[in-house]
Structure 1
Amino acid sequence: MGKTSLSKWLLALMLVLMLALAACGGDDSSDDKKDSDDKSGEKAQSEDGLFNIEDFSMTATNDGEPIEDGTLTYGIVSDTVFEGTFNFNFYSGAPDYEVIAWFDEPLFDSDANYAYTQDGAATWEVDESGKVYTLKIKDGVNWHDGEPVTAEDWLFAHEVIGHPDYVGIRYGSDFENIEGMVEYHDGEADTISGIEVVDEKTLQITFKEGGPSLTTGGIWPYALPKHIFGEMEVANMMESDAVRKNPIGFGPYKVESIVPGESVVLTKNEDYWRGEPALDQVTVKVVSPSTVVQELKTGGVDMVDSFPTDQFVDNADMENVEFLGQVDNAYTYIGFKLGKWDAEASEVVVDPNAKMADVNLRRAMWYAVDNDAVGDNFYNGLRWSASTLIIPFFPEYHNADIETPTFDPEEAKSILDEAGYKDLDGDGYRENPEGEELVINFASMSGGDTAEPIAQYYIQAWGNVGLNVQLVDGRLLEFNSFYERLEADDPAYDIFQGAWGTGTDVNPAGIFAGNSPANYPRWTNEENDQLLADGASMKAMDTEYRKEVYDQWQQLMVDNIPMFPTLYRSVIVPVNDRVVNYTLDPASELRRYQIGVTQAEPVVE
């Protein structure tokens, strides 16, 4: 074992032991942890050494004027390369999104509540039924090659995503809510009857059901340039040069060059419909979690998509950056493989004989883990124990009063005993109720210093109640491989630790609907599908009704446990002191094209 490997192993062991002490009520003294008195809101730790995301500012305080010819370097913190699927209609990984967002954008802007406004590249109107939407693209909105963005392009995006040969993950309940989409997707129709091109700039879409989700993400807001993709086979689009090598959009910057998996250089789009962007050039590059601090201190990057929260406590007083923060629209979870994805039928098929099919086993595994200790010890309060699967990012719908399993290993043991999981051969691990060896294969992603020790903590916690849990392949899986195996229903894993970004619509159908390929636990039932439909219906325009539906849905998930949330999350973004006009605040009127720098070189520590 090399010195570096040994150091990492010792760090993992130390953190696992620290969690074990915390779980047993040991002293979690924070006397050796430094307070932060930096310019980012004086985010001093509390007496127990924890931070609170509410103490962070969401907007950079630098109010200087942007210089001309400015350049900026933006880092994507990742321990793996980006996949390089640079189109909103095809991408699946967050790193690719971070690149796309610089050169393309949705046709709709959103307000502080993430509802579509009339201020973006397109406007919308709805009829009295709440089902027929008329969408109009504004004049002057052009693709980077000068061609106008048209209603045909918007229709074309729907035709591609709904096509039987589409290989992305976007098709689901939102698309099936469009009149005629199911028939088109099933190959029974050549066109989508519910979408009509009224004129060059106007599209009309008729939905089966109206409802609040339509204007918070339910209307697909991304176009696809038909003059580029129109002659391609749908099955080949994702791997085409138009996605991988020469992507275009209508956003503030244009792709100049790509080093596959590593970096993208973008230049100013002088024809941008909102006005001239403030920067001449933006470089987006992958930055390893192990080097991100050094990159920030030396000016190798001006900012990153998200700073590793496990590293924040040791770097909170970094002098050349301002740390911004907000509650994240994402959570971490433990998922159980309970079925398979039927690609031909585009639906989840639940397997009643799956290894993890017994809800008692799943409930015991939830009781066995101490997520409070994980959040406090690994993230100093910047991630915290989760309860239900509608997250605090949606305060109106998150129900903190629902009783969910919390750390109680004795309760976990009792549940397992009663369900027939007993150690019959005296090796310390329980057999299944049929008396057969039970080995639970656990898939978890690599990434940052805490990935390994957290995975090992969960394995240890489950081992403490007599469950033999082992890492798939004996190691953590890199990001792209992890999701490829989930999407393929790899039989090598039984449970997995994943993360889900909810987007800005509270509707959880994207990951839980029976017709969603992103339903990675491969679980649904009649009540789940009905509640998801009710929560997106016209009746759900009444907030109280929608809240009641989602209360029932949150309880259903606690009762059935296809997955359980482990941690709610915050986003911490360091911004170099030369950067202006940057914010995380959804209520702000600042836009990406306005981001600028006040001097030619980054401020260094």
Structure 2
Amino acid sequence: MACALRFSRRSRSAQAPLRSPPTKALRVAFAVAENGFDPQAVYDSYSFYVCHAIFDPLYTFDYFARPVRLVPNTAEGPPQISDGGRTFTVKVRPGVYFADDPAFKGRKRELVAEDYVYTIKRVFDPKVRSYWLYLFDHRLVGLDEALERSRQSGRFDYDEKIEGVQALDRYTLRIRFRTPFYAFQYWLSYDGLAAVAREVVEAYKDASNRVMEHPVGTGPYRLKSWVRGQKIVLEANPGYRDETYPVPGTASEPGDAAVARENAGKKLPIVGRVEISILEEALPRLLAFNSGELDFLELPAAISDNVLAKDKLLPEYVKRGVVLHRQTEPSLSFTFFNMDDPTVGGYTPAKIALRRAIVMGFDRQAEIDVIRHGQAKLASQLVPPGIPGHDPTLVAKNAYDPSGARALLDKFGYKDRDGDGYRETPDGKPLTITKASTPDAVDRTENELWKKSMDAIGIRMTFFT
């Protein structure tokens, strides 16, 4: 579960959609410093938060739809998938423009299909060292040959034709893979494939062909100022296309309708200025919010007890007009077994029973209560809520059942033969499970929960850091 706090704002209806005045500012904080703002070069979440505001991928996700739904962003419609999932054809939406920049020499620069060809080729450039190469490597038609030629020549040729990524005309992009890759349609929404202009890269690139300090995109914001690791200021892009705040559908989350009513009909971006501070520790972020230095705070579970009581805001926050927003994050946390380990690995009935007993014996609700301060839900399946394929009626088969875990261990020969409170293996050897960990305080607390749970079913657990 994710919790966010904000101060309430009074709103009024308008006769026509209007952009927010540039003086209206939103003040937020990042927990980790950014690396830069080149969408093909960065790979950390916080840098991508900024890139998402400046650049545009072809697709995005419906802001309110649950389960999530892919919708056009700078594309005219859904991708046309053919050739058994090998070919993707996309029409780029006419009339989308990059933010004004000296690199364009005073002309208004329209986004075209060739910009996405160039963007994808940047992922291939060895000098850029893009993390996202793995999406295309050994998959895209003609890429392996192009990479080999670049290795031999020492440079990547952006003008060389690659069969797998081409602009068929001014607004038509075609991407071809060697084998079916239906999931690629979702990657077309990823900020790592957001469009950049070749003129901008050639004007401001560093020795690695990266443009980390001078981002220019087609998105709702542009970078106004940046003090590395301290402050990022974004301002509304005055040339941003006409987009209005979305309307939630019937499958949206509770509370979405109220949020939409507050912003219905407003042109994007709603806020004229975004000020981002870097505050790495959770408590200072909360103190900054309490003092009015921040307008919005993503509430870390570790300090949620300072703000919430049984999922409700403390009275002092209610009096100040603070609003709590809750949403289920589409993510999972899990612990996995080393299947090569001689103690827990293997597929004999006894080894399967041992792993199942460990799962049944661990108190996951205690982890949620202690480690996550109640801000999580028990997972019942591999597909998280809000993602297509999630079944809300599915009940986990290996629910917390220490009595059942003890009976299962007894049945398969894992018994305490010497009376010391800990079990031995079926062949009489001491049974010890070693769990990997870190010296982190949270992990130490989690280790205590694991040990308590395993002690309760007679399994000795040690920890390796």
The two structures have a TM-score, normalised by structure 2, of 0.67
Distance in 2 between the 1:270 and 1:122 partners? 21
Change in 2 beyond 3 A, CA 1:423/1:171: farther
SS in 1 for 2:450: helix
Equivalent residue number for residue 259 of structure 2: none
Match of 2:29 among 75, 79, 87: 75
Matched, 1:330 2:331: yes
How far apart, in 2, do the equivalents of 1:433 and 1:184 lie? 57
Q: How has the CA–CA distance of structure 1 residues 161 and 128 changed in structure 2, closer, same or farther, with 3 Å as cutoff? A: closer
Q: Equivalent residue for 2:274?
A: 282
SS of 2:69's equivalent? coil
Aligned with residue 458 of structure 1, among 450, 455, 460: 450
Moved more, 219-228 or 388-397: 219-228
| SS at 1:154 equivalent | helix
Change (3 A) 1:204 1:85: same
Among candidates 17, 21, 35, match of residue 84 of structure 1: 35
**1:141: Cα distance to partner?**
2.0
- For residue 194 of structure 2, what is the aligned residue in structure 1? 222
1:150-169 maps to which residues of 2 (within 5 A)? 150-162=112-124, 167-169=129-131
Count of aligned residue pairs for this structure pair: 397
8 Å CA contact retained: 2:59, 2:189: no
Instruction: Call closer, same or farther: CA 1:286–1:58 in 2, change over 3 Å.
Output: closer
Mapped to 2, the partners of 1:227 and 1:469 lie a distance apart of: 57
Q: Check whether the contact 2:223–2:235 (CA below 8 A) recurs between aligned residues.
A: yes
SS for the counterpart of 1:328 is coil
TM-score between both structures, scaled by the size of structure 1? 0.53
Residue by residue, what CA displacement relative to the aligned partner does 1:558-602 show, whole Å, maximum 9, x if unpaired? xxxxxxxxxxxxxxxxxxxxxxxxxxxxxxxxxxxxxxxxxxxxx
1:117: which partner in 2?
A: 71
Gap regions ≥5 residues in structure 1: 1-51, 339-351, 473-605
* Partner in structure 1 of residue 401 of structure 2: 408
Decide whether the 8 Å contact of 2:204 with 2:214 is kept in 1: no
Within the candidate set 160, 164, 167, 1:197 is matched to 167
Alpha-carbon contact 1:153-1:223 (below 8 Å) kept: yes
Deviation for aligned residue 1:301: 0.7
Deviation at 1:302, TM superposition (A): 0.5
Spell out the pairing of 1:447-596 with structure 2 (5 A cutoff). Answer: 453-464=445-456, 465-470=458-463, 472=465
Cα distance between partner residues in 2 of 1:371 and 1:445 = 21
Partner of 2:44: 93
SS at the partner of 1:283?
Answer: strand
Q: Distance in 1 between matches of 2:462 and 2:221?
A: 47
Distance in 1 separating the partners of 2:399 and 2:365: 9
**Corresponding residue for residue 63 of structure 1:** 11
Identify the residue that residue 258 of structure 1 maps to in structure 2. Answer: 226
| Residue deviations 1:499-543 (CA, integer Å, cap 9, x gap) | xxxxxxxxxxxxxxxxxxxxxxxxxxxxxxxxxxxxxxxxxxxxx
Deviations 1:286-333 (A, max 9, x none): 343223332222211111345537435244441232112222212222
Distance 1:110 1:394, change over 3 A: closer
- Write the distance in 1 (CA, Å) between the matches of 2:181 and 2:97: 28
CA drift of 1:128 comes to 6.1
Contact map agreement 2:58 2:92 (CA 8 A) in 1: no
Computing the radius of gyration from Cα coordinates, the structure with the larger value is 2
How far off is 1:269 after superposition? 2.2
Partners in 2 of 1:462 and 1:234 — Cα distance? 54
Shift, 1:420, TM fit: 7.7
Is the partner of 2:332 in helix, strand or coil? strand
What SS does structure 2 have at the residue aligned with 1:332? coil
Contact 1:336 1:356 in 2 (8 A): yes
- Aligned partners of 1:356 and 1:454: how far apart in 2? 20
1:372 paired with 2:365, answer yes
Shift of 1:132: 3.7
Tell me, in whole angstroms, the C-alpha distance in 1 between the residues paired with 2:206 and 2:435: 36
For the 8 Å contact 2:8–2:322, the answer to whether it is kept is: no
- Cα-to-partner distance string for 1:350-400 (whole Å, 9 max, x where unaligned): xx4688644645444322321123335665654111121111223653364
Give the direction of change, closer, same or farther, for the CA distance of 1:417–1:153 in structure 2 (3 Å limit): farther
The answer to whether the Cα contact below 8 Å between 1:422 and 1:432 also exists between their aligned partners in 2 is: yes
CA distance change for structure 1 residues 258 and 438 in 2, over 3 Å: closer, same or farther? farther
Q: 1:446 to 1:400 in 2, by over 3 A?
A: farther
Separation of aligned partners in 1, 2:423 and 2:146? 50
Question: Considering only aligned residues, what root-mean-square deviation do their CA atoms show, in Å?
Answer: 4.6
Structure 1 residues 367 and 301: alpha-carbon distance in aligned structure 2, compared to 1, 3 A threshold: same
Offset, 1:459: 4.3
| 2:379 match | 386
Matched-pair contact (CA < 8 Å) for 1:289–1:308: no
Partners of 1:58 and 1:209 lie apart in 2 by 47
Q: CA deviation at 1:70?
A: 1.6
Other structure's SS at 1:88 match: coil
Residues 88, 100 of structure 1: 8 Å contact kept: yes
Q: Partners of 1:445 and 1:153 in 2: how far apart?
A: 46
CA change 1:264–1:127 in 2 (3 A) is: closer
Distance 1:460 1:103, change over 3 A: farther
Seq. identity, %: 19
Q: Could you tell me whether the CA contact under 8 Å between 2:5 and 2:299 is conserved in 1?
A: no
Q: Contact conserved, 1:430 with 1:468, CA < 8 A, in 2?
A: no
Query: In the alignment, does 2:103 pair up with 1:141?
Result: no
Unaligned stretches of 5+ residues in structure 2: 14-19, 152-159, 243-266
